[in-house]
Structure 1
Amino acid sequence: MATPYWNRAASDGTWLTDTRTNHPLGPPPGEDLAAMRAGLGRSFGEVPKLWPYYTAEIDDELARRGLASIEQKAEHAALALYGLHQQSKSVSMHRPGVRLGTALARLRTSDKFSQKAVDDRVEAAATTTTVDGLLIRLRGLVDLLRTINQPLDYDHLMRLIHHWHYDDRRRAARRQWALDYQVWKQKPPEDEPPLGS
């Protein structure tokens, strides 16, 4: 698979330089993010403006039958969520190593929203058994993360969405999510603070 769009930034959130032109990539253009947001609530391939951003390999057998692979569906969903998260942000909202549970633990301790409200939203997302249900709830959670400038690892999020298609992988992803989120019970997350704090 080629490099996903959100990997325009280094691990510290600074924008990379285009190796061909030697110019900084900078924040994604608004029209790119708008095309990605158009994919929210839609399926893979339904938004022609989003097609140029897909990098997942095509499964020839599925494609001949007009079907998308799980990898393509997961990438589509992650791109759409990234478009929402990155909107109007000058720093990268993709941060390698910041898994969903960790980002949500920071949301919980941000004092921007009540801890019970965050817990309820996280529980609703984590207990869903369908990918569509997960994506609806992730959209709301990503919007909250955006509010506090909390980045997220979109490579990891794409894998989580991919794993949600399979019962055994969904259970493992949910366990990891719980471990990362429950860190607030022991101590505050040790990683960098959210941007803007």
Structure 2
Amino acid sequence: MTRQAYDMEITALLVIDPCNDFISEGGKLWGRIRAVAEANGCVPHMLQVLNAARQAKLRVFYALHHRYRPGDYETWKNIAPVQKAAWKNKTFEFGTWGGELHPGFEPKPGEIVASEHWCSSGFANTDLDLQLKKHCIQQLIVMGLIAHTCLEATVRFAAELGYGVTVIKDATADFSDREMEAALEVNIPSYASAIMTASEVIDLMPSA
């Protein structure tokens, strides 16, 4: 089926967690996702899509994970396992290299960085939905880390809020092929309108 080019007035690229701890050599979680990320060219594809979106003057939004600070979780009564892991490992620690964005992903002037999410969804307890609505966005192109946690949770929430979603399947990664397949082949197809490759998405950007 031939797909129509994206309507640039209502479409945005959403970039999830392109942090050094995830996708840079020496990052705290890079060793765990490296095999999957390198197999599908995750990082180069993310950069290609981001640069194509900028060339096409597509709006770019960032959904970034909360950067750990001492005292964040110590008084919480309930804490999810994924948050316990972040606390233990001090993943994305504020003020450290690991919490910074991988080179090439630094937001440009006019690009929107939503408030940081504490768990997995880029929407839960953040201003992402408000920012998208203020810019009249209805369609999202989503890429980033990790497929079965933040990417999937954000896509599910986006669908609940009424957004149309395209997921870029070779611009994400996971800890294992099993978790990657569960996200992209079992769960996300129930919520994303389309699951495409980076090259397919770029071809639908008019100016690219």
**TM-score normalised per structure 2:** 0.26
**TM-score normalised per structure 1:** 0.27
Normalized per residue, the structure richer in helix is 1
